[in-house]
Amino acid sequence: MGSNQSQSNPHAATFQAGPPRGNRVGRRLLTQDAPRPRTVPSVHESYRLPCVAYFSAEFGFHESVPNYSGGLGILSGDHCKSASDLDLNFYAVTLLYRHGYFKQQIGKDGWQEAVSLNQNFHHLPVRDARVGDQSVFVTVDILGRSVTAKVWELQIGRIKLFLLDTDIQQNSPEDRLITEQLYGGDTDMRIRQEIVLGIGGVRALDALSVKPDVYHMNEGHSAFLSLERIRRYVQEKGMSYYPALQIVYAGPRRQRRFLPRSGGALSR
């Protein structure tokens, strides 16, 4: 679905200023706990809340934002809701899928059928991510060519979700399809999605002046973020590869987390 993404989503103003589209449950979910200044309990007056960057291929908040397929997205969404409830210094990163995921139904022969969502992008409650009065774009290299992603923003209670979108005029028709559908395409397309999510996501946070203390990867879809961080230590700070690898792997603040889908344990 090609449209002029250089323009702000007109429904973002509705989302920010009043109840978003959707049913009563959706309105409560997406507007509860409006953003407010972050406070620190007096018992920890000298403690600064660490900044957490949470990467996931999907987030499930409500059916009005169909950027999820199942359990992984619901888990990611629940983590965001908890972070909002706890008033954490928390930013989430994913891709903005123009056609979301498919609906599942059972056909007359008893087999599962996939039905397109036929989603209207301009009804999503997202707005431009901006620095000053400028929209935010990031670029990544894929197969020797530069791919640009526009960054959108979705406010979830007190926390923000940033979504990367390659369906913009700066890209070739082939690259505009990268963020067309969640888990869509073949293996090559999945790798392209993961490059945009991992590498592009780190660059988007940097463009927005978000400086994470911890990077959390919900499954391995965003694993390229580790390569981007190693590259930065090597190219921008003049480190050799192995020390940069050790910092990213462990780090003085245990900077990386990986959450496998089964078991639910955190490892570093």
Residue 43, domain member (yes or no): no
- Give which of 82, 95, 103 is closest to 126, Cα–Cα: 95
* Structural domain range at position 198: 48-259
Q: Which residues pair with 138 in a beta bridge?
A: 149
Q: Are 157 and 86 in contact (CB under 8 A)?
A: no
Residue 95, domain member (yes or no): yes
| pLDDT given at position 74 | 78
- Give which of 200, 178, 181, 179 is closest to 53, Cα–Cα: 200
Residue 13, domain member (yes or no): no
Q: What is the CATH number of the domain that holds 125?
A: 3.40.50.2000
Residue 8, domain member (yes or no): no
Q: Residue 73: is its pLDDT beyond 90?
A: no
pTM assigned to the model: 0.73
Q: What is the pLDDT of residues 111-123, one digit of tens each?
A: 876 666 556 667 7
Q: DSSP assignment, residue 30?
A: H
Residue 3, domain member (yes or no): no
Q: Residue 153: is its pLDDT beyond 60?
A: yes
Residue 38, domain member (yes or no): no
Q: What is the pLDDT of residues 204-213, one digit of tens each?
A: 999 999 999 9
pLDDT band at 25 (very low <50, low <70, confident <90, very high): very low
Q: What is the pLDDT of residues 223-243, one digit of tens each?
A: 899 999 999 999 988 999 999
Residue 14, domain member (yes or no): no
* CA 178 to each of CA 103, 115, 148, 171, 216: distance values in angstroms, whole numbers, following the listed order: 20, 20, 11, 10, 23
The Cα–Cα gap between 71 and 123 comes to: 24
Neighbours of 223 (CB within 10 A): 15
Residue 222, domain member (yes or no): yes
Total of domains in the chain: 1
